[in-house]
Chain A
């Protein structure tokens, strides 16, 4: 998956643990862990909304598209 979740970096910058974030956004630690490790298949806008509000960031700060891992670049290589 070429989408990279940078939740770890933002949590580091905010000096916040995943457990604290879990309590603030009311999302289970297990689900946040899935998101953090990039194993999630999709993310709801409501989840994005809650995380961005809790971490005072933009959706773009959380997600990044890695062009080297995209389907087209894989086909080219």
Chain B
């Protein structure tokens, strides 16, 4: 018989709580970098390794787009993390098969899809602005696994929805 690790839930809760604190900090830091790049473009871009050249303007624009994407991603990640923590809390209470969790999973699925699309956008921007003189290496790669995870989340949301309905029916069965 399958026996889950007893501490997995506690560990997940701790990790999620830490990430819920860390993602807004990351978002604020990226926002600060973005504002700084507008206020003091020369020194900031110099510190980021952007050298003078013909493609400089395009590279700076691309980097700013990536920063905006980073801020949006932090906000999206916050939504997903909070929903996931709420799901974990229902598991610890002992009642995870509720329609609210199906909705939360559905939201997480949409958020992860959004994050994947933003990731794709970052890859496109980096490819567009990167040149031999100004290479923008952000280690971008396409991953089938991540897209499968999106699909899996949507399927799981439906499974949860169906499970919650069945449980509700069973609850009213005499």
Query: CB-CB < 8 A to A35: which residues of B?
Result: 174
Contacts of A31 in B (CB 8 A): 174
Query: Chain A residue with minimal CB distance to B173?
Result: A42
| Chain A residues numbered 16-31 whose CB sits less than 8 Å from any CB in chain B | 27, 31
Instruction: Determine whether A39 belongs to the interface, using a CB cutoff of 8 Å to chain B.
Output: yes
Within B4-38, the residues touching A (CB, 8 Å) are none
A31-48, CB < 8 A from B? 31-32, 34-35, 39-44, 47
| Closest-CB distance, B94 to chain A (whole angstroms) | 20
- Taking the closest CB of chain A, its distance from the CB of B167, in whole angstroms, is 11
* Interface residues on chain B, size class: under 10
Within 8 A of B (CB), among A42-71: 42-44, 47
* A42 partner residues in chain B, CB cutoff 8 A: 169, 172-174
Closest to A48 in B: B174
The residues of B that contact A47 with a CB separation of less than 8 Å are: 174
Closest to A41 in B: B172
| Residues on B with beta carbons closer than 8 Å to the beta carbon of A44 | 173-174
Q: How far is the CA of A31 from the CA of B170 in the complex (A)?
A: 13
B172 to chain A, nearest CB (A): 3
Name the A residues within 8 Å of B169 (CB-CB).
Answer: 41-42
User: What residue in chain B is nearest A33 (Cβ atoms)?
Assistant: B174
Q: Which residue of B lies closest to A36 (CB)?
A: B174
* Candidate in B169, B173, B174 with the most chain A CB atoms within 10 angstroms: B174
B44 to chain A, nearest CB (A): 63
B144-172: CB near A (< 8 Å → 1, else 0) gives: 00000000000000000000000011011
C-alpha gap A64/B141 in the complex (Å):
64
Closest to A47 in B: B174
CA distance A69 to B98 in the complex (A): 29
A41 contacts across to B, CB distance below 8 A:
168-169, 171-173
B binding-site residues for A, Cβ under 8 Å: 168-169, 171-174
Q: Give residues in A with beta carbon < 8 Å to B.
A: 27, 31-32, 34-35, 39-44, 47
6 smallest CB-CB distances across A and B, nearest first, come from A41-B172, A42-B173, A40-B174, A35-B174, A31-B174, A43-B174
